[in-house]
Amino acid sequence: MKSIHELIKENENTLSVLYGADESARARIIKAVEEFTALYGEKDYSLFTVSGRSEISGNHTDHNRGEVLAASVSLDIIAVAAPTDDGKIYVKSEGFSRNEVDLADLDPVSGEEGTSAALIRGVCDGFVKNGRSIGGFCAYMTSNVLGGSGLSSSAAFEDMIGNIENHLYNDGVIDYIEVSQISQYAENVHFGKPCGLMDQIACACGGFVHIDFADPKNPVCEKIELDLASHGYCLCVVNTGGSHADLTDDYASVPAEMKKIASFFGKEVLRELSKDDVISNVPALRAFAGDRAVLRAIHFFDENERVKEASACLAKDDIDGFFGVIKASGISSSMLLQNYFSPKAPEEQGISLACAVANSALTGGGVCRVHGGGFAGTIQAFVPVKDLESFKNTMENAFGKGAVTVLSVRPVGMAKIF
């Protein structure tokens, strides 16, 4: 097999699309190959990537078959992988112990919930249920999609397992939507975390994408072109120091309460209703599901309209109109959806505090809002490039050095590099 340096040189065009001229990205690949070889010996390997994602608009809408605007971002998982013939998958992720999963047993394992092994087993189970081929492999992975960052580290990991199985055992013919659906199945059924499909699709698709989940088996995806830099803005996420640990109940309450409102009308999800249905039945719905559930339902309908509006603004290059929609989305998430902090820990309100500090720093334009599932973790900010350094200084003074990550939107989500 050719040396890693030769492979990098041969695939420079692809690497430039993914990472620009960043030499540290090439060094990261070289180190990953060295770690792979140290673990598994000399093998004919392949290199894979899956991006993180940023939800731009459509906060907590996907699980009720709503609409979402999201983007694949420059942070990613890379994996060096090679097939094995023993019917087992071995995955060593940097900083974690190695996982071993026997493909002879693909049923959910009691006590395995919440682990990487559950996601690996779940993805392979999903492949088989879809009539796809699976096989063993050994892999070394390294990620700069930080857990708890709202960039969807778990979705990127799931997509990566599917990405590897797709190319090693299915000739790469499975499209990103099917891989994403299998990833969602793994997270719901094996990992034990309720989630929609937005994270997995946005990590896999590439670029900005408007997703309509009205038919979850056939989501409609529309790529939208936008060059933030040409408008003088960049995308940042700010880590408030919170963690997604122990927040599963908070996340689960959102789809559960929305679906409870839908059940009042004999429906499964809110997408089958209209906002007028809810507004016209407020007294009965308050008694049936409680005030917060009603508020979250109203957020759902309004947020769907904002996704359409934001997508339209991007399509006609209306950056100010776009920012107006993003601001409205953040206000709705805070007041109606109520995912800016966990009611179990009201003394910890990092997201609310970060938005307050960010708004004071964004005097020259831009906007901020909660990022990802919420309750703790990160906020998202569109920051004028001319104000980036002062914004970083203000936010890192409040939340610590390294709290601000500057992202770019990359056109490729899930791929085999070579």
- Cβ–Cβ under 8 Å, residues 75 and 405: yes
pTM of the model: 0.84
If asked whether residues 390 and 245 sit together in one domain, one would say yes
Please state, in angstroms and rounded to a whole number, the distance separating the CA atoms of residues 118 and 131: 20
If asked whether residues 47 and 171 sit together in one domain, one would say yes
If asked whether residues 303 and 326 sit together in one domain, one would say yes
Both structure tokens of 209: 């994408």
If asked whether residues 213 and 235 sit together in one domain, one would say no
Return the closest-CA partner of residue 341 out of 351, 333, 328, 331. Answer: 351
Residue 366 confidence (pLDDT): 97
Residue 248 confidence (pLDDT): 83
Please state, in angstroms and rounded to a whole number, the distance separating the CA atoms of residues 287 and 274: 19
If asked whether residues 214 and 234 sit together in one domain, one would say no
Residue 382 region, left (φ>0) first, then alpha (ψ -120 to 50), else beta?
Answer: beta
Residue 244 confidence (pLDDT): 52
- Where does 11-91 have alpha helices with state H? 12-19, 23-40
For residue 84, give the CATH number of its domain: 3.30.230.10
Domain that holds residue 120: 4-226+411-416
If asked whether residues 27 and 164 sit together in one domain, one would say yes
If asked whether residues 52 and 151 sit together in one domain, one would say yes
Q: Count the residues in the chain.
A: 418
If asked whether residues 194 and 242 sit together in one domain, one would say no
For residue 238, give the CATH number of its domain: 3.30.70.890
DSSP 297-327: HHHHHHHHHHHHHHHHHHHTT-HHHHHHHHH
Residue 148 confidence (pLDDT): 56
Please state, in angstroms and rounded to a whole number, the distance separating the CA atoms of residues 312 and 310: 5
Per-residue pLDDT of the chain (418 residues; tens, 9 = 90+): 899 999 999 999 999 989 988 899 999 999 999 999 999 999 999 999 999 989 999 999 999 999 999 999 989 999 999 999 999 999 999 999 999 999 999 999 999 999 999 999 999 999 999 999 999 999 999 998 866 555 557 899 999 999 999 999 999 999 999 999 999 999 999 999 877 788 899 999 998 899 999 998 889 999 888 888 889 999 999 999 875 557 889 999 999 999 999 999 999 999 999 999 999 999 999 999 999 999 999 999 999 999 999 999 999 999 999 999 999 999 999 999 999 999 988 889 999 999 999 999 999 999 999 998 899 989 999 999 999 999 999 999 999 999 999 998 888 999 999 9
Residue 243 confidence (pLDDT): 59
Residue 153 confidence (pLDDT): 78
Please state, in angstroms and rounded to a whole number, the distance separating the CA atoms of residues 322 and 218: 27
If asked whether residues 98 and 162 sit together in one domain, one would say yes
- CA dist 236 to 275, 399, 410, Å? 33, 14, 14
If asked whether residues 37 and 164 sit together in one domain, one would say yes
* Tally of structural domains, the chain: 2
If asked whether residues 221 and 244 sit together in one domain, one would say no
If asked whether residues 214 and 248 sit together in one domain, one would say no
Rg (CA), the chain: 21
Return the closest-CA partner of residue 46 out of 98, 1, 112. Answer: 1
Contacts of 220 (CB under 8 A, 6+ apart): 211, 212, 214
